[in-house]
Amino acid sequence: MSNDYQNLYDDEMLPGMRPKNSPKNAIIAVIVVVLVLALGFVIGKNVLYGTGYGITHDSTWETVEGADWRITIPTGLKENTDMQPDPGTVLEGCYRNNEAVVGITSLAMTEDQQKMLANMTGVQKKLIENFPKETDEGIPIEAQQRGKMVFVEYAMNYPGVFFGTDRVEIVDAILMGKTKVWEIQIYVPADKYSDYQESVYRWLDSFQPSA
């Protein structure tokens, strides 16, 4: 992938999602393909950290910051740079332990795209309409809106991410900023997700971009 969005209009790159007539829909479709179908980044395996805190205890959460973003996550998560963002995207931050992984990537928009999105209404609705119905692995997904974000959540086998289980629950959210499109991905063990879900949503809600 690259920031040359026109190259992504090939049928080979956008099967079944070729934009029709509207340049706004074309931008939305390309953003979805770049950030969702490729899943943002690949987690390096077997780089795990223990913690003395339960990740659902908000009294132990802390706010971490990047150059133009901030998010509140559990204190026990350690910064990790062993991540592989997709070409054309930037890994803004990644934090992990043996209970959760929180990753943040961004995609810079051109000035024309910024102006078009600034004047567009119903961005979240358009994102949902253009979301694929399944992942590259064939797992069904359904896009949902949460505030200004659009997100999907699903489970898949991902050996080596967490001790004691290969089954991982993934929450993948997209947020349109002023100059960037942001993607926040959160991974937790699937067998614990019912206990972690509310906290995962609160971490997403805490994300604040300034760009």
Residue 91 phi, psi (nearest 5): -80, 110
Pairing of strands 101-108, 180-189: antiparallel
Determine contact, residues 64/78, Cβ cutoff 8 Å. no
Instruction: Provide the residue range defining the domain that includes 9.
Output: 5-209
How many angstroms from the chain centroid is the CA of residue 100? 14
Per-residue pLDDT of the chain (211 residues; tens, 9 = 90+): 333 323 322 322 222 222 233 445 555 665 655 555 444 455 655 444 444 447 888 888 999 999 999 999 998 888 876 667 777 788 899 998 889 999 998 988 888 888 888 888 888 888 888 888 888 788 898 999 999 999 999 999 988 888 899 999 999 999 999 999 899 999 999 999 999 999 999 999 999 999 9
Q: Which of 103, 59, 58 is nearest to 84 (CA)?
A: 103
The total of structural domains in the chain comes to: 1
Residue 160: its pLDDT value, please? 84
**DSSP type of residue 106:** E
Instruction: CATH number of the domain at 127, please.
Output: 3.40.1000.10
**DSSP type of residue 7:** G
CA–CA gap between residue 99 and residue 115 (Å, rounded)? 40
pTM, two decimals, is 0.79
Q: Which of 168, 172, 206 is nearest to 189 (CA)?
A: 168
Residue 24: its pLDDT value, please? 54
**DSSP type of residue 155:** E
Determine contact, residues 205/197, Cβ cutoff 8 Å. no
Residues 6+ apart with CB under 8 A from 2: 87, 88
Q: Which of 47, 173, 176, 202 is nearest to 104 (CA)?
A: 173
